Amino acid sequence: MIQKQIISIVIIFTVLPLILGNCKKDPDIIYSEDTEFSDEVKVKIIGYFSDAMEPFISKDEKYLFFNNLKGDSSKNLYYAEKINDTTFLYKSEIKGVNSVYVDGNPTMDAFNNFYFISTRNLDTGNKTLFVGEFNNGTVTNLQEVQGTINIPDLYWINMGVEISEDGNTMFTSNAKFNPGENFPNKGNIRFAFKENGDYNTPENELTILANINTDSAVEYAGELSSDGLELFYSQVTLSDPPIFKMLRAVRKNTDAAFGIPLYITEPFKNDSEAFAEAPSLSTDGKRLYYHKLENDTFSIFMISRQ
């Protein structure tokens, strides 16, 4: 049985630098630099004063969804209302989703179907993907996501989720935790298509993601552009020290494989070992949000491109 307490420590990769200190694998992977995004700006959430992580901008640009780092009920989900691109007004916890376990990594399609990750049911299986209907700060009709995107193998879990604007394509990030260990020794990005309400992985999944997933690092926090032609994601090397990157891969059409990824340099411009992760793209593709550790606190930042 996978212990909830262990998975809760690392499910959203918020403490990897602390637990990978003695883990040594292949050296850091070298990528060409992507300098399209620049001008890093810290996002302000008026009325909110704690860690803010796993940002997601709703498709209508009205809301910012995010989770905290820890609290009385482990990680919880919150939302704020947009004032401008870098300023939001804190509203409240998202009602109907939070539990005493880890609840995080929010995403939503254009029809207000709200998806997130939760460890609440790990003792009865290893499903961590949930969906409900969002309306004015409350999620109803909550249920587990069904389909082959769920991992039947023991010690494997989905720990991240992203839904396309039309709700028909789901990207997840999974990881394997060996018995007795509190960090993943494997992890990669997967995707699935919606079929009769379930999310099932296609036969060409490995081909589409051939340039994305590696053996020497964990790939996670995938984010698909509205046109389906760009994939943004995080990567952390299982090395000493761990190196975080945010990457962007492009393809010519939605049936093609993603090309060789490029390293988005702006969040790491002043510190190559910065703890920055979890990219989230605006609907128009011009703004990229993510969280970053600064002065012992995680905050949301934004970079932009013309």
- pLDDT tens figures, 100-114: 999 999 999 999 999
For residue 126, give the DSSP letter: S
The yes-or-no verdict on residue 23 having pLDDT over 50 is no
Q: Rounded to whole angstroms, how far apart are CA atoms 235 and 2?
A: 24
Per residue in 168-211, pLDDT tens? Answer: 999 999 888 777 666 677 899 999 999 999 999 999 999 999 99
Q: Rounded to whole angstroms, how far apart are CA atoms 116 and 187?
A: 18
Residue 45: per-residue pLDDT = 98
The yes-or-no verdict on residue 9 having pLDDT over 60 is no
Residue 183: per-residue pLDDT = 67
The yes-or-no verdict on residue 4 having pLDDT over 50 is no
Decide: 97 and 116 in contact? Cβ < 8 Å. yes
Chain-centroid distance of CA 297 in Å reads: 18
The number of beta carbons lying within 10 Å of the beta carbon of residue 201 is 17
Helix (H) or strand (E) holding 234: strand 230-237
Q: Rounded to whole angstroms, how far apart are CA atoms 79 and 136?
A: 10
Six-digit token pair at 128?
């961590």
**What's the mean per-residue pLDDT of the chain?**
88
Q: What's the mean pLDDT in 149-171?
A: 91
Residue 185: per-residue pLDDT = 78
* Pairing label, strands 287-294, 276-281: antiparallel
Domain boundaries, the chain: 4-304
Among 43, 123, 110, 127, which residue's Cα sits nearest to residue 83? 43
Q: What's the mean pLDDT in 54-68?
A: 96
Q: Rounded to whole angstroms, how far apart are CA atoms 250 and 233?
A: 12
Among 2.115.10, 2.60.120, 3.40.50, 2.60.40, name the CATH number for the domain at 4-304.
Answer: 2.115.10
The yes-or-no verdict on residue 18 having pLDDT over 60 is no
